[in-house]
């Protein structure tokens, strides 16, 4: 699909696409605007039409038109390509194999059928007073939410929708594949309030239907079965409606039910989304993480909710997001019930969300008698199991101390018990997803430091020998490391559009660094650039030394708690050597 990507890129002006999201103003050869990722008053967001890239100086993010749409809409590359191809008038089927082209046309037909069904359901809601009464009075839904979620009503007829779609030219097989037909060939959804399931771009891919009259013979909720378009292991309900609020507020709230999402938006909490109950997957986390690295779970406080939170902690570690838990008041079964009672209390609960591991440890403590030997053993076993899954050593150390404090023992004893158990294998990250991994504050700061130094060195070849003074592991971002290695062995300026072949695989990143250099350091004198490069290298050396010292101090505390005097002496010697700079 590389040819299709380049064709779409050639047909679209990057400033026009980004201008639909950000108000841009001409600034010389480039365009500038306020960052869509941070709240700022001075524009730091730059778009370069010449290089076909953008860079946000406030957050350190940047890339091409595809990465921008992915970031803003919370979609993956394939979805961004499809969206921009439609805008550019590019027929992607021309760039696909015969089988891929056939599948693409088949999906397009299913989308057409579902789109018609959604409009039919919306019309039926206007025609049936009982359905309107249920939506407005029983569910408390206002006109805006009904419009935003395209809520409708499926009447109780046997096959009215199927017959209508057949008259529109759809075959019975296509309607089955769209998930609109029951086992008898009639309408799957009858006498239900209908809420469309949409992809991140807002296209209908299925439905969830809620009975408006109690019927013990029928399920309260009925969802579209798995189809070519709808996969519950990947779909995040409400993401298309919530993505703008998630970016603006900086966090997402995950609830169990789709109607919890609708009620939450009605109550003014527009950051709410839902997965398939508590069956969260890595795909769900990654889809949300494209918009924010702060995710808050609002699951039920029962055993299923606890188990789901434990699984989510592992997934959050894999993806690299911050996970919190929204605690519901006693006696409240779900967010929808709390919202019906007191919408303000729902907002307060979200604001008071606690770190997920901390919440889980509290739940463990409440389930066991920590004054009894059996209870202490059970709590320590459960606590160790969850803490061992944490990948960040600093975070893990905090929770070892917290759990040990509950038991009034030294953290080293708890670690000793954990070490006697089979270790939990770390979850491996699929290579195909690594570039999409959300960055925490430390990672962003490191990425910014790398970009700033390389930008100076692009313009100032005489300062490049200073790269040799950096620690070997300073550059953590592969494209940055690739560029640094190139600069270390080449003295020519690197500000033109034509890049050497050694840098073709890192072209986007190099263009971002070029844009950064042009915006910040182009008018600096050579001596000033050399001086700044030296300061940045010295800062990197100090930070690296401080990180090493913190790691050694943590090892020293562990040795002290275990009473290992030999290890204490060894680590102390390492700390003294580090301080002396030898």
Contact 207, 167 (CB under 8 A): no
The mean per-residue pLDDT over the stretch 429-437 comes to 38
Residue 441: the pLDDT is 61
Residue 438: the pLDDT is 43
- Give the model confidence (pLDDT) of 52-101 as tens digits: 899 998 888 888 999 999 888 888 888 889 889 888 888 887 777 676 67
Task: Return all residues near 451 (Cβ < 8 A) that are at least 6 apart.
Answer: 60, 480, 512, 513, 516
Checking 29-36 for CB contacts under 8 A at 24+ apart, the result is 30/515, 30/519, 35/59, 36/72, 36/247
Would you state the torsion angle of the CA atoms of residues 377, 379, 383, 386, taken in this order, to the nearest 10 degrees?
100
Mean pLDDT of the chain: 86
Which strand (E) or helix (H) includes residue 315?
Answer: helix 303-319
Reply yes or no on whether the pLDDT at 575 is more than 50.
yes
User: Which tokens is 214 given?
Assistant: 């109690």
pTM: 0.66
User: Which tokens is 234 given?
Assistant: 């990947």
Specify the higher pLDDT residue, 555 or 35: 35
Reply yes or no on whether the pLDDT at 427 is more than 60.
no
Residue 46: the pLDDT is 92
Q: How confident is residue 581, by pLDDT bands cut at 50, 70 and 90?
A: low
User: DSSP string spanning 198-234?
Assistant: E-TTS-EEEEEEEESS--TTS-SEEEPPP-SS--TTT
Choose the weakest-confidence range: 25-34, 144-153, 177-186: 25-34
The mean per-residue pLDDT over the stretch 234-258 comes to 91
Reply yes or no on whether the pLDDT at 155 is more than 70.
yes
3-class DSSP string for 41-60: CCCCEEEECCCCEEEECCCC
The fraction of the chain above a pLDDT of 70, given in percent, is 94
Q: How confident is residue 237, by pLDDT bands cut at 50, 70 and 90?
A: very high
The mean per-residue pLDDT over the stretch 3-32 comes to 88
Residue 270: the pLDDT is 95
Q: How confident is residue 257, by pLDDT bands cut at 50, 70 and 90?
A: confident
Residue 278: the pLDDT is 67
Checking 26-34 for CB contacts under 8 A at 24+ apart, the result is 30/515, 30/519
Q: How confident is residue 291, by pLDDT bands cut at 50, 70 and 90?
A: confident
Contact 450, 477 (CB under 8 A): yes
Residue 267: the pLDDT is 92
Residue 124: the pLDDT is 96
Cα–Cα nearest to 288, from 254, 311, 255: 254
Cα–Cα separations (whole angstroms), residue 137 to 212, 268, 282:
12, 18, 37
Reply yes or no on whether the pLDDT at 437 is more than 50.
no
Specify the higher pLDDT residue, 427 or 416: 416
Is residue 477 classed exposed, middle or buried when 0-12, 13-18 and 19+ CB atoms within 10 A define those classes? Answer: middle
Is residue 507 classed exposed, middle or buried when 0-12, 13-18 and 19+ CB atoms within 10 A define those classes? Answer: middle
Residue 34: the pLDDT is 92
Choose the weakest-confidence range: 106-120, 233-247, 538-552: 538-552
Residue 475: the pLDDT is 85
Choose the weakest-confidence range: 48-62, 222-236, 516-530: 516-530
- Give the model confidence (pLDDT) of 105-122 as tens digits: 888 899 999 999 999 999
User: Which tokens is 160 given?
Assistant: 């009215």
Cα–Cα separations (whole angstroms), residue 580 to 548, 556, 573:
13, 18, 11
Residues, the chain: 582
Task: Kindly state the greatest CA–CA separation across the chain.
Answer: 84
Cα–Cα nearest to 204, from 234, 229, 170: 229
Residue 299: the pLDDT is 87
Residue 428: the pLDDT is 40
Contact 95, 101 (CB under 8 A): no
Reply yes or no on whether the pLDDT at 158 is more than 50.
yes
The mean per-residue pLDDT over the stretch 309-329 comes to 90
Q: How confident is residue 431, by pLDDT bands cut at 50, 70 and 90?
A: very low
The mean per-residue pLDDT over the stretch 13-23 comes to 90
Reply yes or no on whether the pLDDT at 387 is more than 80.
yes
Residue 557: the pLDDT is 79
Choose the weakest-confidence range: 152-166, 308-322, 351-365, 463-477: 463-477
Q: How confident is residue 436, by pLDDT bands cut at 50, 70 and 90?
A: very low
Specify the higher pLDDT residue, 419 or 351: 351
Cα 89 to Cα 370: distance, rounded to the nearest angstrom: 66
Q: How confident is residue 326, by pLDDT bands cut at 50, 70 and 90?
A: very high
Cα–Cα nearest to 389, from 353, 360, 432, 349: 360
Which strand (E) or helix (H) includes residue 166?
Answer: helix 160-167
Taking residue 261's Cβ as centre, other Cβ atoms within 10 Å add up to 29
The mean per-residue pLDDT over the stretch 558-580 comes to 78
Specify the higher pLDDT residue, 95 or 227: 227
């Amino acid at each position: 699909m590389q040819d299709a990507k380049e064709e779409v890129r050639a047909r679209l002006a990057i400033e026009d696409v980004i201008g639909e999201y950000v108000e841009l103003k001409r600034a010389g050869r480039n365009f500038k605007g306020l960052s869509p990722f941070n709240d700022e008053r001075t524009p730091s967001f730059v778009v370069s039409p010449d290089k076909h890239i953008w860079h946000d100086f406030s957050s350190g993010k940047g890339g091409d038109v595809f990465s921008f749409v992915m970031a803003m809409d919370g979609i993956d590359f394939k979805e961004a390509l499809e969206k921009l191809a439609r805008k550019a008038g590019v027929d992607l089927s021309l760039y696909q194999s015969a089988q891929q082209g056939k599948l693409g046309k088949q999906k397009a037909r299913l989308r057409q059928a579902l789109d018609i069904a959604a409009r039919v359901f919306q019309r039926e809601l206007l025609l049936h007073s009982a359905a309107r009464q249920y939506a407005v009075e029983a569910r408390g839904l206002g006109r805006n939410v009904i419009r935003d979620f395209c809520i409708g009503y499926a009447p109780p007829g046997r096959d009215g929708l199927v017959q209508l779609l057949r008259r529109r030219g759809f075959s019975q097989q296509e309607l089955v594949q769209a998930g609109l037909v029951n086992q008898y060939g009639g309408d799957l959804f009858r006498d239900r309030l209908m809420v469309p399931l949409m992809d991140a771009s807002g296209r209908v891919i299925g439905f969830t239907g809620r009975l408006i009259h109690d019927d013990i013979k029928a399920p309260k909720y009925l969802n579209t079965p798995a189809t070519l378009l709808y996969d519950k292991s990947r779909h995040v309900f409400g993401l298309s409606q919530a993505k703008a609020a998630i970016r603006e507020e900086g966090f997402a709230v995950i609830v169990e039910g789709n109607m919890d999402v609708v009620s939450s938006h009605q109550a003014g909490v527009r950051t709410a989304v839902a997965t398939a109950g508590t069956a969260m997957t890595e795909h769900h986390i990654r889809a949300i993480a494209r918009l924010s690295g702060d995710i808050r779970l609002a699951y039920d406080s029962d055993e299923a909710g606890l188990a789901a939170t434990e699984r989510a902690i592992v997934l959050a570690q894999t993806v690299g997001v911050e996970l919190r838990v929204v605690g519901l008041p006693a006696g409240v079964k779900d967010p929808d019930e709390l919202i019906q009672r007191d919408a303000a209390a729902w907002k307060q609960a979200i604001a008071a969300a606690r770190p997920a591991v901390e919440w889980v440890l509290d739940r463990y403590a409440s389930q066991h008698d920590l004054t009894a030997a059996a209870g202490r053993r059970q709590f320590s076993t459960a606590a160790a199991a969850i803490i061992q899954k944490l990948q960040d050593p600093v975070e893990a150390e905090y929770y070892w101390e917290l759990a040990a404090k509950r038991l009034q023992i030294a953290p080293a004893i708890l670690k000793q018990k954990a070490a006697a158990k089979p270790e939990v294998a770390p979850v491996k990250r699929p290579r195909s997803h690594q570039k999409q991994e959300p960055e925490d504050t430390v990672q962003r700061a490191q990425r910014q430091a790398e970009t700033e130094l390389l930008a100076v060195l692009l313009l100032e070849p005489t300062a490049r020998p200073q790269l040799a003074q950096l620690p070997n592991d300073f550059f953590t971002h592969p494209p940055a490391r690739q560029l640094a290695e190139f600069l270390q062995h080449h003295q020519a300026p690197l500000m033109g559009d034509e890049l050497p072949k050694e840098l073709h695989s890192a072209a986007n990143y190099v263009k971002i660094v070029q844009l950064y250099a042009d915006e910040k350091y182009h008018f600096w004198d050579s001596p000033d650039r050399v001086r700044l490069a030296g300061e940045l290298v010295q800062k990197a050396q100090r930070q690296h030394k401080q990180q090493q010292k913190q790691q050694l101090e943590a090892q020293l505390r562990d040795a002290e708690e275990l009473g290992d005097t030999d290890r204490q002496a060894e680590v102390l010697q390492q700390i003294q050597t580090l301080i002396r700079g030898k």
